[in-house]
Structure 1
């Protein structure tokens, strides 16, 4: 592995409300290492997805990156040089991420064309990525439209598109939210396998502490755009410090009729 660590440093994202500038992400710093999973967790609206979007310069209209740099192994990179080349992305709602009138073959070609990949032999490269993502019949799936595929198949296809880029880092934004429990398990198993086999460094954005416990080694907790706690997964579950962390763990345990013991 030539590239080992992606760092987000002092990231600040702003918007404007009633004539006043408001910070949505405030001086946030994270470090993602290859071969490991860093979970970024927090309640809805805390700035998790904005952090990923700002790092790759794909913020929604009405927001902007006020400050912050992204580097790989200490070398500052522009977001455009990272996007799709050094950092691939998978999103939380696979059905809305695909153009409904285009086949999977078209999506694969567009993905490789967008990053300037060598297009001769692109179908073989795409097929290999699809197989790695658990889609065992790539030639048949090439001809399918999104409405002909299940949510789990679409999520695997989104992962395959990310693998086609051969990017060393992956931003996974709520990758299992809209999937049933069995498919969630399979997708998490797939991400774990890809992390081990390909040495992917994964930034896992989620509010699900069960997903954190299953996949991540390190956790950063975000609240109102600020990192309020960061620790190894085991330490965070055993000794949460910040009230937001405790609330997230309590909410998770309550699903099983349990309570966190202080």
Structure 2
């Protein structure tokens, strides 16, 4: 396993004259989970979208650079090759009139992979994501799959790219508690087996406690606090961090929150 490091430096995003993300920087190493947390609208997802040049209409990156192992790298070289992505609503991420096999072929074709390798690669990735009977699953449409299966399928497509880093944007938000735990266990296992560097975008401090090594807390487009996960829970410094931790403890007062 290589010791690759990804750096997002001074990422800034505007919507017209409004600054939505202002100078966000972070470092992510292989085998590490960094959580980017904050309330809805704090700029978490926009930061990652800007790094990959995948911003929604009406927004534009106004500054910043991504570096891989100390050298700048263009967004088109990042997407799907260095960084794979998992989105928060798996059902909306799949075309409802195309099978999982169609999506897999589109993904592998975009990566420029030899067609003779497609079947072996996607079958292996589906099994690595905890989905048995890959041949049967590839013939299914999204409406024939549960939310948990679709989230695993999205993770499988990310694994098929063999990218060393994964941006996971609210990967458990739309799942029931059983499937949430299964997906978190899966991500933890993939990190251990493949040395994935995972940037976890979430507002759920329970997810942070379960997976993260380090935490960056965002508010109003800026990073307000950065610390190891245990320090975030035991000694939160910023008011926003304290509010996030307090909200979590009010819902789960008896939960073990430290690693």
TM-score tier, shorter chain, comes to over 0.9
Gaps of 5+ in 1: none
Corresponding residue for residue 99 of structure 1: 95
CA deviation profile, 1:80-100 (whole Å, cap 9, x unmatched): 110010000000000000000
Corresponding residue for residue 182 of structure 1: 178
Instruction: Flag as ranges the 4+ runs of structure 1 deviating above 3 A.
Output: none
Residue 10 of structure 1 contacts residue 68 of structure 1 at CA under 8 Å; is this kept in 2? yes
Gaps of 5+ in 2: 255-259
1:10 aligns with 2:10: yes
Alignment of 1:1-262 (within 5 A): 1-2=1-2, 4-16=4-16, 21-257=17-253
Moved more, 114-123 or 218-227: 114-123
CA deviation profile, 1:16-57 (whole Å, cap 9, x unmatched): 1xxxx1110001100011001000000000000001100000
Matched residues in 1 for 2:28 and 2:219: separation? 19
Matched residues in 1 for 2:2 and 2:193: separation? 15
Q: How far apart are 1:120 and its partner, in Å?
A: 1.1
Task: Tell me the secondary structure at the aligned position of residue 116 of structure 2.
Answer: coil
Corresponding residue for residue 257 of structure 2: none
Residue 3 of structure 1 contacts residue 168 of structure 1 at CA under 8 Å; is this kept in 2? no
Matched residues in 1 for 2:253 and 2:64: separation? 42
Matched residues in 2 for 1:84 and 1:121: separation? 17
Q: State TM-score, norm by structure 1.
A: 0.96
Q: How far apart are 1:256 and its partner, in Å?
A: 2.5
Q: How far apart are 1:4 and its partner, in Å?
A: 1.3
Q: How far apart are 1:257 and its partner, in Å?
A: 4.5
